[in-house]
């Protein structure tokens, strides 16, 4: 006999889906105009440093820059990484993605050419250890933080508030390496965080302590120990990010302090890279 509809209703079904995420790296170059250590204008950006280096001498000529001029044309090299919802589609030799996941981060930033002196030296490479702590306050009992709850997706990819004017002096900024995370159960609210009225004196506090190293280059004649002082003077600090979409659910049920001024960070002694 044929099927007969005897009733109809709706039901909500939640399906787990998987998607491919690509971590991509892109390198670009830009031509800038500087005057006595101050960025005046960023003229043009290119999809490759080689294109910027090829065009920069012509720009300096159009500006009629002489060896005695206080105006400089410079080429900035910048390499970034980012997450894309893959697998992407190849078009004209370039892979195009349908969606960007989160924000891109910088893994290299330095000046490579100057209208007065030509190619610029890379400088002395050093690695600066750091520690960065974020804090979470649960309104009730502390979550168990089991595998898959999102804690493994937290990391540090870049340093915030980099003083770009140091590029003029020959400094260069690289990427963050060797990041690890340790979870520490606290017995009380950290003294540097003001008490949340919504929590009162209750709540379980947890510290997430990240450690890693920041790669930079310093110009010749600069003491490497000066690098730590410079980063402290300019308020540079590690920025905590997620390696996946969104923050874990447990961060929405309490108070998660992952940014300034509630976080605590420190710079260790610098170690010269071999």
Q: What is the pLDDT of residue 188?
A: 84
Residues 109, 133, single domain; the answer is: no
Q: 1 in a domain, yes or no?
A: no
Residues 182, 211, single domain; the answer is: yes
Question: Cα separation of 216 and 234, whole Å?
Answer: 15
Q: What is the pLDDT of residue 121?
A: 94
Residues 189, 165, single domain; the answer is: yes
Q: Is the pLDDT of residue 247 over 70?
A: yes
Supply the range of the domain harboring residue 235: 121-274
Residues with Cβ within 8 Å of residue 243, at least 6 apart in sequence: 83, 153, 154, 155
Residues 200, 101, single domain; the answer is: no
Q: Is the pLDDT of residue 201 over 80?
A: no
Q: What is the pLDDT of residue 15?
A: 61
Q: 264 in a domain, yes or no?
A: yes
Q: 236 in a domain, yes or no?
A: yes
Of 54-58, 60-64, 179-183, give the lowest mean pLDDT range. Answer: 179-183
List pLDDT tens digits, range 5-44: 445 556 666 666 777 888 889 999 999 999 988 999 999 9
Residues 110, 129, single domain; the answer is: no
- Looking at 86, 120, 154, which one is the last position of a domain? 120
- When pLDDT is cut at 50, 70 and 90, the band that residue 196 belongs to is low
Q: 15 in a domain, yes or no?
A: no
Query: What are 136's strand-pairing partners?
Result: 206, 256
User: With b meaning 16 or more CB within 10 Å and e meaning fewer, what string describes 214-234?
Assistant: bbbbbeeebebeebbebbeee
Instruction: Specify the 3-state DSSP secondary structure of 79.
Output: strand
Q: 8 in a domain, yes or no?
A: no
């Amino acid at each position: 006999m044929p099927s007969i509809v005897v009733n109809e209703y709706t039901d909500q079904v939640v399906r787990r889906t998987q998607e491919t995420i690509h971590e991509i790296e892109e390198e670009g170059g830009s031509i800038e105009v500087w005057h006595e250590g101050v960025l005046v204008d960023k003229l043009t950006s290119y999809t490759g440093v080689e294109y910027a280096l090829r065009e920069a001498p012509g720009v300096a000529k159009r500006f009629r820059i002489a060896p005695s001029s206080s105006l400089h044309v410079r080429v900035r090299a910048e390499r970034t990484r980012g997450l894309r919802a893959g697998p992407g589609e190849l078009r004209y030799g370039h892979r195009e993605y349908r969606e960007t996941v989160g924000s891109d981060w910088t893994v290299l930033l330095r000046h490579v050419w100057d209208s007065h002196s030509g190619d610029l030296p890379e400088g002395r490479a050093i690695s600066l250890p750091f520690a960065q702590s974020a804090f979470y306050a649960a309104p009730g009992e502390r979550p168990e933080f089991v595998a898959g709850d999102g804690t493994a997706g937290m990391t540090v990819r870049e340093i915030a508030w980099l003083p770009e004017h140091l590029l003029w002096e020959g400094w260069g900024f690289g990427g963050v390496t060797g990041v690890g995370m340790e979870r520490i159960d606290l017995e009380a609210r950290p003294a540097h965080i003001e008490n949340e009225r919504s929590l009162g004196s209750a709540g379980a506090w947890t510290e997430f302590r990240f450690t890693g190293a920041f790669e930079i280059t310093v110009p010749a004649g600069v003491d490497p120990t000066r690098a730590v002082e410079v980063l402290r003077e300019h308020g540079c600090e590690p920025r905590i990010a997620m390696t996946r979409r969104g923050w874990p659910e447990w961060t929405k049920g309490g108070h998660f302090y992952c940014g300034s001024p509630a976080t605590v960070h420190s710079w260790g002694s610098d170690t010269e890279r071999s």
